[in-house]
Amino acid sequence: MITVAKYHVEALTKRETEVLKLIATGLSTKEIARSLGITFKTAACHRSRIMAKLNIHQVANLTRYAIRKGLVDAGESGRPADRQAELFQQIRVTEAKYRRAMDEYAAFLKERLSIGLDNPDGSAGARRFRQAEQLAHQEYHAALVALKEFLIRE
């Protein structure tokens, strides 16, 4: 049984409610931080505050609480688990692509520096690598937003 002392979900900030929803959908603190664009430490702090405010210190009980309060679906909504797995896979793929683009751009800059060219801004190659990095970042961000929208029902 979940015991909620004097606090209720209304006592949570908007961000804490968002984090509670993500906890209830099964995301780890690291995944929550990544999906919200915050540091791991900040996500862990939100998690601790939620547990303290609700006086619930187990993830399973937080999940039950969030379901009972209507913050997340209990699974009856017909949303296939395949869609969630697909979104997680999309995040893995786009993150790898983004990391590759950042590495390629960094290698390009390092190579230019090694031959004495320290201003890459005028280089067509630098612009091409930079644009590839920006596009990969946009794709990765879009994948994170899609997962967040799938997991959190406003």
Question: How confident is the model over 114-141, as a mean pLDDT?
Answer: 80
Amino acid at 106: A
Between residues 66 and 5, the one the model is more confident about:
66
Residue 6, pLDDT > 80, answer no
Angle, alpha carbons 6-20-58 (nearest 5°): 70
Tell me the whole-structure pTM to 2 decimals.
0.51
How far apart are the C-alpha atoms of 68 and 75, rounded to whole Å? 12
How far apart are the C-alpha atoms of 106 and 126, rounded to whole Å? 10
The reported pLDDT for the residue numbered 9 is 55
Among 37-46, 96-105, 111-120, 137-146, where is mean pLDDT lowest?
A: 111-120
